[in-house]
Structure 1
């Protein structure tokens, strides 16, 4: 009996145009009306995650930044897991040595050296799902976040790290060079206490070892008195694996890589064709 559903965003609940479809919304509302808790579980920051959910009219809680941050449906902070401050300069030195562009996530803000890096991130995610990126829509979203102050461009991160190094949730590296990414990943994996994952072929997501979706979903379920046997998770990428491995029922999107599909107990349609809604409807039919 499914009592909790945790859903990834990019490539999963979000359509290629970064919206939540009417079918996905209605399926979530049906799940909630049947007493099922529904939570977002994303690599995005809260400010990036909240917009599409708010625009759809849904009321959900949030596991953000791969589990580094958990917020309730009002956006109030429930828990936070930062990267150990002593590791930050080790991480950035490795990324810089391998010519990897990176962003820093602190509280609800994203710090970047280039707004173009933000664009490239979402373009890569779309291409990884074999979809055409909606360039104009992505640029509009990014510029709105810049205007709202959620994305901050800096020439250098040195002062930021010196002043707020203990507050960094996630370091997000991007590159179109697969070899550089692989070499950086291998070097980062030698640092104990870190979780290294990715949401697409062109990025690295670096968090504290305790900041993983699977750990956060398990803790969230426990807080609600729900066994992981009664949890369904839906995702499409490698940063979803930790929750797929722990949940009683795991669903891979049709646009997920083969090894993600292999790791799951079920496969749904792609995010272009309401895969989340289809998966939830199947569960509701089985339980009713």
Structure 2
């Protein structure tokens, strides 16, 4: 029987407009009322994840940055995993050689050379799910983060790397050129100690090999005395694979690539049509 549910955000819990539907919210609250633990497992930083969730009145812990951070529902840091300092220059060199733009995720802050790149990241995630992105809403959301200091635009990332080299949780690369992305992915995989995944066709998510959603989820479940066979994971993309593979009940979103669907035990509806709520309701009804 399910005792813990891990839910991805973009393309999963959040609809195309980056909000949580009434059905998804009510399903999560119902699960919690029955004593089931619910955790958000996202590639976003804590600050990017926290507000869309808590604005809907939901109280949950967070696996952030693809597992590089685990935080309590109030933001208290439980664990953090950083990219090895010795690998940062290699990663940056590969990305720059392939002319791939990148962002640095350091704790609660995202550093970028272009706010437009940050906006385009979320636009591309929607397009990857074959949905029409609400660009004005996405822009307003990102600009609000800029205003409160959660996203910072800088002329160069080099000084940030020099100052925070021991504190980088994730490097996020974006490009419209598939060949450049594939070349970078292959080169990055040759570096021992890295996990290289993606949350959409036009990006690369680079973390420490020990910073993956599946690893963080296993540790969280163990800390609560919950066997993995009693864990449900719901996701839509390649950065979700590690947790989908270790969960006893794996659910792919209807908007997920076929490879993700093939890796899961079941497939729910799309994020546009309350896929998370539908999956949770089914689990509660069937008492799986």
TM-score (norm 1): 0.99
Partner of 1:163: 163
Q: Deviations over 1:218-261 (max 9, x none)?
A: 00000100010100000000000000110100000000000100
The 1-side partners of 2:264 and 2:254 are apart by 12
Moved more, 153-162 or 40-49: 153-162
Confirm whether residue 239 of structure 1 aligns to residue 233 of structure 2: no
Runs of 4+ off more than 2 Å? none
Separation (CA, whole Å) in 2 of partners of 1:119 and 1:74: 26
Q: How far is the alpha carbon of 1:107 from its aligned partner? A: 1.0
Query: Who is 1:287 aligned against?
Result: 287
**SS where residue 179 of structure 1 aligns?**
helix
Structure 2 CA distance, aligned partners of 1:110 and 1:51? 15
Output the CA distance in 2 between the equivalents of 1:158 and 1:22: 43
CA distance in 1: counterparts of 2:134 and 2:44, whole angstroms: 18
What's the C-alpha RMSD, in Å, of the aligned pairs?
A: 0.7
Residue 206 (structure 2) pairs with residue 215 (structure 1):
no
Q: Distance in 2 between matches of 1:12 and 1:241?
A: 13
Q: Which residue of 1 aligns with 2:5?
A: 5
Report what 1:79 is aligned to: 79
SS of equivalent to 1:12: helix
Residues in 2 aligned to 1:161 and 1:170: alpha-carbon distance in whole angstroms: 12
- Which consecutive residues of structure 1, in runs of 5 or more, have no partner in the other structure? none
1:1-288 matched pairs, under 5 angstroms = 1-287=1-287
**Counterpart secondary structure, 2:165:** helix
Consecutive unaligned residues in structure 2, runs of 5 or more? none
- Could you tell me how far 1:58 is from its partner in structure 2? 0.4
Within 2, Cα distance between the matches of 1:61 and 1:85? Answer: 28
Q: CA deviation at 1:134?
A: 0.5
| Offset, 1:158 | 1.5
User: How much does 1:26 deviate?
Assistant: 0.3
TM-score w.r.t. structure 2 length?
0.99
- How many Å separate the matches in 2 of 1:119 and 1:163? 25
Aligned residues: 288
Offset at 1:161?
1.1
Question: Matches of 1:97 and 1:194 in 2, distance apart?
Answer: 18
